[in-house]
Structure 1
């Protein structure tokens, strides 16, 4: 990584983990990297933890396109975003010493609430009822009214996020080479009054998904951007589309998306 020499480590601040990180700091300096204290000075951002920590690292550092992100697992199990294990430095050395490092680009989605608040998601956007009752939303694809959903909620996932919350509700696993987003239902009602597609569906990256929250006393839904909750009252309109911003990660010889899926689920 000849042009990326400033490293920022994102991790929880506790003494036990900081002790484990000391060899990593030494390794970075050995290969002529500078460990910086401010992520704004970095061009490589490394999360230490699990996939949740990686998602937080991307969010807290502003979804930077001018940086390369990497994840280091603190357990013996690698995951979808963590390609390195903290006690095995061989792959880290390979990445640091590689002058022609390959980069993988993960798509993100952009969420706009009531035309004002904008958010990015690497995994998924989810919306659920905040009280113990179902709620309804009119769903539009571009300008087309598609259906009225009533149930517990919806998940809109990126291709990489298709293996997370989306998969737990029987959504499909989608190759991240496809610029798209997937919409999956959470406990939908299907009866004479409400009828939905009843299965997840995939939208092209050129589409805009619009959710109009029916104002029936349940217009304060719980929303989540990846693993971070969002609370906004009197929500009426939510627009979701594929963002033009991507997250860049290290691409090694044995960490393709489908190899990650295999090691995680099979």
Structure 2
């Protein structure tokens, strides 16, 4: 490994401070840092690149921030499948499980020895209107159709490989990956899924019926969700970060993406330990 991409939550002074230290550490050891341009400007460095240019040139990407920062970088890395080392400078750190105190130890393992990598399934999401595809997106956690209007529910049909599943009268519907099972889907009473399992989760949000429960389907299927409500402020939201306005009759199609997010893990922990310590799972 020679070229190391660096992304950070640039509005956070501590993230910028750590990024500056990391920049010097890498250059002192003969590595070539690839700084995202906004971070580069904050650090007074003139070598910055557009974020989308970094994955194709990097052998490894370091993300300084919280889970939200890592998720946005995961979508950016996309097809390149460059390994991502997430360093937690946020509040939860479920995905960015390595603390900042372990940054250089983890880096040395990646650069000079071997590191543990978790392959995470991503979602391929397409949006169709009037029989035509009008958008294509990647998501690590989830694709959500929900509404902004208060005190109103929306009507959504869900199909699995073209077979009718259900009509949901609800605040919305979440299609989540296994990684996303501990995100928004969990808050809507969806199941926790081991991230090494490939599957798709369908989780209604405040469904107006007692029988619409979350369901898990094969990752080999394609889920289609059709919006039937004529209402303003209905949106498709990807990973809680990318928002696309929807119209009545729009179709969202979700399937397993061809490419995966490769997360570098701490060798000192495992998924179930993180589940207990970060989300307090199983506590009484």
TM-score range, shorter chain: 0.7 to 0.9
For the Cα contact (< 8 Å) 1:222–1:229, is it kept in 2? Answer: no
- Closer, same or farther in 2 for the Cα pair 1:104/1:49, shift >3 Å? same
RMSD over equivalenced CA pairs, Å = 2.2
Q: Which residue of 1 aligns with 2:135?
A: 117
* Equivalent of residue 65 in structure 2, options 33, 49, 64: 49
Q: Which residue of 1 aligns with 2:41?
A: none
Q: 3-state DSSP class of the match of 1:181?
A: strand
Mark the runs of 5 or more structure 2 residues left unpaired by the alignment. 36-48
Mark the runs of 5 or more structure 1 residues left unpaired by the alignment. 191-195
- How far does residue 234 in structure 1 lie from its aligned partner after superposition? 2.0
- How far does residue 15 in structure 1 lie from its aligned partner after superposition? 8.1
The within-5 A match list for 1:146-165 is 146-165=165-184
Cα deviation 1:55-97 (Å, max 9, x = unaligned): 11223x241434111111125x662211322244453244245
Q: Does 1:69 align with 2:87?
A: no
Indicate the structure with greater helix content.
Answer: 2
- Closer, same or farther in 2 for the Cα pair 1:265/1:13, shift >3 Å? closer
Q: Distance in 2 between matches of 1:180 and 1:189?
A: 26
Q: Which residue of 1 aligns with 2:4?
A: 7
Q: Distance in 1 between matches of 2:231 and 2:182?
A: 29
Q: Does 1:211 align with 2:221?
A: no
Q: Distance in 2 between matches of 1:32 and 1:57?
A: 25
- How far does residue 218 in structure 1 lie from its aligned partner after superposition? 2.1
For the Cα contact (< 8 Å) 1:43–1:66, is it kept in 2? Answer: no
- How far does residue 49 in structure 1 lie from its aligned partner after superposition? 0.8
Output the TM-score relative to the length of structure 2: 0.81
- How far does residue 220 in structure 1 lie from its aligned partner after superposition? 5.3
Q: Distance in 2 between matches of 1:35 and 1:213?
A: 45
- How far does residue 31 in structure 1 lie from its aligned partner after superposition? 4.5
Q: Which residue of 2 aligns with 1:230?
A: 243
Cα deviation 1:243-266 (Å, max 9, x = unaligned): 121011213422332222122122
* Equivalent of residue 203 in structure 2, options 160, 168, 184: 184
Cα deviation 1:34-54 (Å, max 9, x = unaligned): 211331422211111100111
Q: Distance in 2 between matches of 1:82 and 1:6?
A: 21
Q: Which residue of 1 aligns with 2:270?
A: 256
Q: Which residue of 1 aligns with 2:158?
A: 139
- How far does residue 179 in structure 1 lie from its aligned partner after superposition? 0.7
- Closer, same or farther in 2 for the Cα pair 1:198/1:31, shift >3 Å? farther
Q: Aligned residue pairs: how many?
A: 255
- Closer, same or farther in 2 for the Cα pair 1:219/1:181, shift >3 Å? farther
Q: Distance in 2 between matches of 1:150 and 1:137?
A: 7
Q: Which residue of 2 aligns with 1:193?
A: none
Q: Distance in 2 between matches of 1:66 and 1:144?
A: 32
- Closer, same or farther in 2 for the Cα pair 1:239/1:52, shift >3 Å? same
